[in-house]
Amino acid sequence: MNTKTIGETISSLRKQNNMTQSDLAKKMNVTDKAVSKWERNLSYPDITSISKLAKILGVDSSYLIDLCGEKNVMKDKVRNNDLINNACIAVSLAMGIAVIVLNIFNQVEIKNAITLLSIGLVSISFYMLNNR
């Protein structure tokens, strides 16, 4: 797996080809702001323009496509990880709050309270294991 992001790669290749962001933008028929966003990984070149970009930068288009794919896979992993973390925290908080509220209204038996708190502890454990 390449350690550079697609933005770092575009920037590096552009500089190797002695081009400014403006030069690359003109050749790609986009704004220099678009090129700047690509290089800062705030956006990505349109898939239909990858071939043209690769040709201008002197690389194979599959090289850039692979970088785009790696970035998207990493984004998906981060997004999934955030979802798991948020779900674990939400479940553990919900169990703790449920026990407190039910206890205030004298609507919980000790056995059920322990079960709810155990579910909360298991959720926190998953959260902690996921973030090791």
DSSP collapsed to 3 states, the chain = CCCCCHHHHHHHHHHHCCCCHHHHHHHHCCCHHHHHHHHCCCCCCCHHHHHHHHHHHCCCHHHHHHHHHHHHHHHHHHHHHHHHHHHHHHHHHHHHHHHHHHHHCCCCCHHHHHHHHHHHHHHHHHHHHHCC
What integer pLDDT is reported at residue 90 of this predicted model? 93
pLDDT at 70: 59
Among the ranges given (10-24, 35-49, 60-74), the one the predictor scored with the smallest mean pLDDT: 60-74
- Provide the token pair at 27: 């050749």
pTM: 0.52
* Of residues 52 and 81, more confidently modeled: 52
Both tokens of 115, joined, read 């079960």
Residues of the chain with pLDDT > 70, as a percent, come to: 89
Q: Is the pLDDT of residue 43 over 90?
A: no
At a CB cut-off of 8 Å and minimum separation 6, what does 4 contact? 12, 67
- Which residues are within 8 A (CB) of 115 and not within 5 positions of it... i.e. 6 or more apart? none
Other Cβ atoms less than 10 A from the Cβ of 115: the count is 14
CATH of domain 6-59: 1.10.260.40
Tokens 């028929």 found at: 29
Q: Specify the pLDDT at position 127.
A: 86
Q: 67-111, pLDDT tens digit by residue?
A: 766 555 555 566 677 888 889 899 999 999 999 999 999 999 999
**Mean model confidence pLDDT for the chain:** 87
